[in-house]
Amino acid sequence: MSPNPVAPEFRAALEVLPSFDGISDATLDATRKAFIAAIRNVRVRHYPDVTVTTGHVPGPPGAPQVPVVTYRPVASHPGAPALVYIHSGGIVSGTPEVDDARCRQIVSELGMVIFSVDYRLAPEAPYPAAIEDCYAVLKWVHGHAAELDIDRQRIVIGGDSAGGGLTACLALMARDRAEVPVLFQLLIYPMLDDRTGTTVMPPPVMGEYIWTRAANHYAWNAYLGQIPGGAGVPGYAAAFRAADLTGLPPAYIGVGSLDLFLDEDLDYARRLMAAGVPTEVCVIPGAYHVFDVFIPDAPLSRGFTQSYFAALKRAITRD
């Protein structure tokens, strides 16, 4: 009998964690509600030194305004670095609430101001709705830096899972449109390649838990509006498809060794480095997708958090 590849500290949680494996058009609404409910059941720290407000910024041309949740230190931090954050959920579910604990901790410990994007979801709003919403918020943050009391030269973008994939696409879009300088990209187990689980099959041990091949296929099909894995998918939709990665901001990529996205994330990291982009990589042994969200106090989760916090701190620290 093969040994259990899941790290001991993550095993018990699998009995109660939600799975996206049966997601479909018929079950999408229930899946969205179950995801939020599971997040609300996680015990997290409170951060009284962080203030949270909600608002809207102008959306892409012809599109609705984009809801944004803003996190700030209670204490004044004039000219603070900013982070445009993009939440998880496969681009078909989730809201900024799913990453509320992460955002509060970043603000509390690093003194950043975070703008968490409540982008439009697929299949109701397929590509390019989500990425254009994210770009609209990034451009607004940069354009209103003075009144937001942030440093427009220290704007970071980041996200996890689908949000990590959108972050990578946003880095490409920002480079090409050349309107907003991005200091750093934080890619937490990012969803980068529509071919994973369709035309490219990772080893069976990857993607067995939480986010599976079936879930990945459904999500990409919903977002792209076509069967994933085919020809003609642009890099602004799936960052791994981009042919040219030169000139992108430095990156951090973190992922679990049992995550469906492990291979695509490591391959993307290699491509970034080959293109001359400074890239840090962290792989957590025995960890499945979004492990740190649901078991934040496990030693491996804390080590993972410390890893990308350190990368963020290096990126925003002035010389």
DSSP 129-143: HHHHHHHHHHHHHHH
- Sheet arrangement for strand 50-57: 50-57, 66-73, 113-117, 80-86, 150-160, 184-188, 251-256, 279-284
Give the pair of three-digit tokens for residue 121: 């979801």
Alpha-carbon distance values, 246 to 158, 243, 274, 278 (Å) = 19, 9, 9, 11
Please give the distance of CA 271 from its chain centroid, rounded to a whole number.
19
Nearest-Å Rg of the Cα atoms of the chain is 18
Could you tell me which of 68, 93, 98 has the C-alpha nearest to residue 83?
68
Contact (Cβ atoms closer than 8 angstroms) between residue 106 and residue 252: no
- Three-class DSSP category at 75: coil
Instruction: Please state, in angstroms and rounded to a whole number, the distance separating the CA atoms of residues 232 and 241.
Output: 9
DSSP class of 220: H
Instruction: Please state, in angstroms and rounded to a whole number, the distance separating the CA atoms of residues 90 and 228.
Output: 14
Residue 4, classified by CB atoms within 10 Å of its CB into exposed (0-12), middle (13-18) or buried (19+), is: exposed
Contact (Cβ atoms closer than 8 angstroms) between residue 261 and residue 196: yes
Positions marked catalytic? 161, 259, 289
